[in-house]
Amino acid sequence: MSLELLAHPFSSYSQKVLIALYENATPFEFRMLDAEHPENGAALMAHWSIGKFPLLLDAGRAVFESTIIIEYLARHYPGTVALLPQDPEACAEVRLLDRLFDSYVMAPMQAVVDNALCPVAQRHEPNVTRARAALEQAYDWFERRLAGRRWAAGDDFTLADCAAAPALFYADWVHPIPAGNSVLRGYLARLLERPSFARCVDAARPYRPLFPLGAPDRD
């Protein structure tokens, strides 16, 4: 098997790539990154000394950064679900939303989590307050942008939805999407029903005790 994914099932960016792989039933070998598989961590560092994951290996060729991995899969391993539209304008919308979900939902969510992981004396609550405010701004923006759409960019499931699913899922744990954001809440519900993401959520369940803020008893 030529494709190998070095990742962890609880990782949001790992889930982003796993969704893309599952959507098109792309064959691959999952290489777990944890203390019980040190050889996989060594392989990650050998190919990508920054050490961030996931990392895709294609017959030894290393591809890193989740968006770039999905774009690589779309070019080299296309399937029935076209995660990047052929139309340039439609593709631009997908790429925009992908970046916005990563930058304005995933990033502030991670800031809150990172603060919780710090020793108490090193925590900085003003950063958390700013991150939560940023999430509320993002929720409101996406509420307006996604109105009338089934998926992030329209009628078709795309790269943008691969980014949105884990970003919104974990952000909703950190700072719940308000009831008034009914469009966004409905969208997250549809993502959770999508088989590719539901598979990721189920695979990550055993690791929920690792969530530093305490995983909610739902989803």
Per-residue DSSP letters for 61-72?
EEEESHHHHHHH
Q: Average pLDDT for residues 5-16, to the nearest whole number?
A: 98
* Under 8 Å between Cβ of 106 and 51: no
Q: Rounded to an integer, what distance in angstroms lies between the CA atom of residue 187 and that of residue 168?
A: 10
Q: How far apart are CA 157 and CA 82, in angstroms?
A: 8
Amino acid 13: pLDDT: 98
- Longest alpha-carbon distance in the chain: 51
pTM: 0.96
Average pLDDT, the chain: 97
Residue 212 has pLDDT above 70, yes or no: yes
Helical pair 159-174 and 195-204, crossing angle rounded to 10 deg:
40
Over residues 45-59, the pLDDT tens digits come to: 999 999 999 999 999
The tens digit of pLDDT for each residue in 83-111 reads 999 999 999 999 999 999 999 999 999 99
Domain boundaries, the chain: 88-194
- As its CATH architecture, domain 88-194 has Up-down Bundle (1.20)
Predicted confidence (pLDDT) per residue in 143-199, tens digit: 999 999 999 999 999 999 999 999 999 999 999 999 999 999 999 999 999 999 999
| CA pair distance 67, 62, nearest whole angstrom | 14
pLDDT for res 218: 87
Decide if pLDDT at 1 tops 80. Answer: no
